Amino acid sequence: MTAPAGTASRIDALRQTVEQALDRALPSRSVWPATIHEAVRYSLFAGGKRIRPLLTLAAGEAVGGHAADVMPLACAVEMIHTYSLIHDDLPAMDDDDLRRGKPTCHKVFGEAIAILAGDALLTRAFHHMAALPAGESAAIAVRRLRAIQVLGEACGTSGLIGGQVMDLQSEGKAVDATELEGIHRAKTGALLSACVRGGAVLGGASAADEDRLSGYASAVGLAFQIVDDILDATEGAEQLGKTAGKDAAREKATYVRIHGLERSRAMARDLLSAALAALGPFGARATLLSELARLIVERRA
Amino acid sequence: MTAPAGTASRIDALRQTVEQALDRALPSRSVWPATIHEAVRYSLFAGGKRIRPLLTLAAGEAVGGHAADVMPLACAVEMIHTYSLIHDDLPAMDDDDLRRGKPTCHKVFGEAIAILAGDALLTRAFHHMAALPAGESAAIAVRRLRAIQVLGEACGTSGLIGGQVMDLQSEGKAVDATELEGIHRAKTGALLSACVRGGAVLGGASAADEDRLSGYASAVGLAFQIVDDILDATEGAEQLGKTAGKDAAREKATYVRIHGLERSRAMARDLLSAALAALGPFGARATLLSELARLIVERRA
């Protein structure tokens, strides 16, 4: 499966639409109390690649949905991703000074505001999902509620938060391959899966289509984390925009540490193949999803 | 308006129902990773008076709704209240060691887990609101979505979070009476109002009833904070279960500091009268709401 010419520029155009939607979804910097909105926007508009919103929109497209129906979740998942980065970077957690090539939120605004900025993004994500335009049908409300449930599950203690807890607790300990996969499925995979599943729900997917996309989401989610580990081990801070070699320094469990570099690369390639195979039944409507899987596995930062 | 005999025991019984619903709404302590669920339950079941869930259920009752339809929000507001306490108590924020007579979450579980426990409660609150039993009608889904919106607004940067930002920024500064009311309406009033308004929404209130209850909520919210300030200035740590005299020590803006003790007490009494007056049109169905207003203003801790 080769991406048709023009897919890359479609992704760029969609990314622009996401930027604009995110901008509209949040209070401006000048709204009182200004500090918190400055901090929220500092981290949300720090040059993220918007992989999660793109996956969400692409899943909606694969099931024949309208982009406008899916966009609220596309914005919400990026808010949640950003909240998790802000909180993970805090001194009490991973204690990181650099993120996407810029000082982390707490380095610029202080710890108290950084904690609150994360809280604000998490809150806004759910609030934004619940904001239904006047005159929207009850059927759309039901889909929104289901998407909120998918999102909430992914962000909770069996997903994003649970993964961070396990990650913190695994530092300096021997972690086997099964435990490592469990950590990553929770910490990274759950939210990526929620993008795909939630995008499908808002796009009006059948139960069968939702199931089919779960296979794709699961493979892409794991591949994403393996590539992350490979990049941490092989790229410099300048390229990554964050502290490099950090995993090894903190003795964190990583794929590279457990499986070695070459085996990790092979695993990522196999997962890409599995993801693309799961998209077969969707034909051309899944062009974006397949291109995004490729972007995720072949990325350099 | 005098509460009929039996209202106090009805409140006790409702409180028990809330405890059970909260217990069911959260993963047990043994669910992996156990630490986070222990921390969440440590703070959520630390002897809170459940004022917010009771207000929520009472508002639903005032508009003729079913308790079962309102309970998801009753649980959600207590989770959100608890999350805000955990995060406010952190060293980077108010740096409190004692809450409800027990060591604060971060003193027991460490800062990282306390941050994540707050995040988990905030996430679970919205997730819980979105969990609709199979076969529930689309009309109920629409109400749930509206209640999530009310809740999200109250917890965001114009409510709970904004109030905490303003509160932090007001420390050691001269704050006038108007600014002080703004801080408290955001920090305390917004969530209390959301309990009443959201409870009414889930109970199937008419727009007119929602408006009428807003007057009650607004008065009760402000009275709650004034009484809080009075108690901080007059009661000891043993009675309050938290560090006493903290506001004065940190030069925080409080009603007692700006208006003095006697004037503050008179303001709380006037607000109670206003709250009770707003309930007139609801007759006997508002018995619980009126009793709760009295409990809030006349409480000793």
A164 with B132: Cβ contact below 8 A: no
pLDDT surpassing 70 at residue A276: yes
pLDDT score at B253: 73
Partner residue facing B127 (CB), from A32, A36, A149: A149
User: ipTM for the complex?
Assistant: 0.94
pTM, full prediction: 0.94
Residues of B whose CB is below 8 A from A123: 122, 152, 155-156, 161
Confidence of residue A181 (pLDDT cuts 50, 70, 90): confident
B161 with A116: Cβ contact below 8 A: yes
Give the closest-approach CA distance of A142 to chain B in angstroms: 6
pLDDT digits (tens, 9 = 90+) for B23-47: 999 998 888 899 999 999 999 999 9
Residues of A whose CB is below 8 A from B120: 156-157, 161
pLDDT digits (tens, 9 = 90+) for A141-168: 999 999 999 999 999 999 999 999 999 9
Give the closest-approach CA distance of A260 to chain B in angstroms: 27
pLDDT surpassing 70 at residue B268: yes
pLDDT score at B301: 77
Strands B98-99 and A98-99: unpaired
Round to whole Å and give the CA distance between A215 and A279. Answer: 9
Domain extents in chain A: 7-298
Confidence of residue B4 (pLDDT cuts 50, 70, 90): low
Write a three-state SS string for A19-56: HHHHHHHCCCCCCCCHHHHHHHHHHHCCCCCCHHHHHH
A33 with B116: Cβ contact below 8 A: no
| CA-based nearest residue in chain A for residue B93 | A112
Residues of A whose CB is below 8 A from B82: none
Give the closest-approach CA distance of B93 to chain A in angstroms: 5
Residues of B whose CB is below 8 A from A178: none
CATH classification number, B7-298, choose in 1.10.600.10, 3.40.50.300, 1.10.150.20, 1.10.599.10: 1.10.600.10
B145 with A149: Cβ contact below 8 A: no
pLDDT digits (tens, 9 = 90+) for A191-241: 999 999 999 999 999 999 999 999 999 999 999 999 999 998 887 666 666
pLDDT surpassing 70 at residue B177: yes
B151-175 b/e (C-beta count within 10 Å ≥ 16 → b) = bbbbbbbbbbbbbbbbbbbbeeeeb
The predicted model gives B233-259 an average pLDDT of 73
A111 with B124: Cβ contact below 8 A: no
Residues of A whose CB is below 8 A from B90: 112, 115
pLDDT surpassing 90 at residue A249: no
Compute the mean pLDDT over every residue in chain B, rounded to the nearest whole number: 92
Give the closest-approach CA distance of A212 to chain B in angstroms: 23
Confidence of residue A101 (pLDDT cuts 50, 70, 90): confident
A145 with B141: Cβ contact below 8 A: yes
Q: Tell which residue, A245, A268, A269, A266, has the closest CA to residue A257.
A: A245
Give, in degrees to the nearest 5, the angle at Cα B123 between B121 and B124.
Answer: 65
Residues of A whose CB is below 8 A from B165: 33, 35-36, 113, 116
Round to whole Å and give the CA distance between B128 and B144. Answer: 10
pLDDT digits (tens, 9 = 90+) for B132-168: 988 889 999 999 999 999 999 999 999 999 999 999 9
Confidence of residue B251 (pLDDT cuts 50, 70, 90): low
A148 with B164: Cβ contact below 8 A: no
Round to whole Å and give the CA distance between B102 and B106. Answer: 11
| CA-based nearest residue in chain A for residue B120 | A156
pLDDT score at B238: 62
Are A268 and A297 contacting, i.e. CB atoms less than 8 angstroms apart?
A: yes
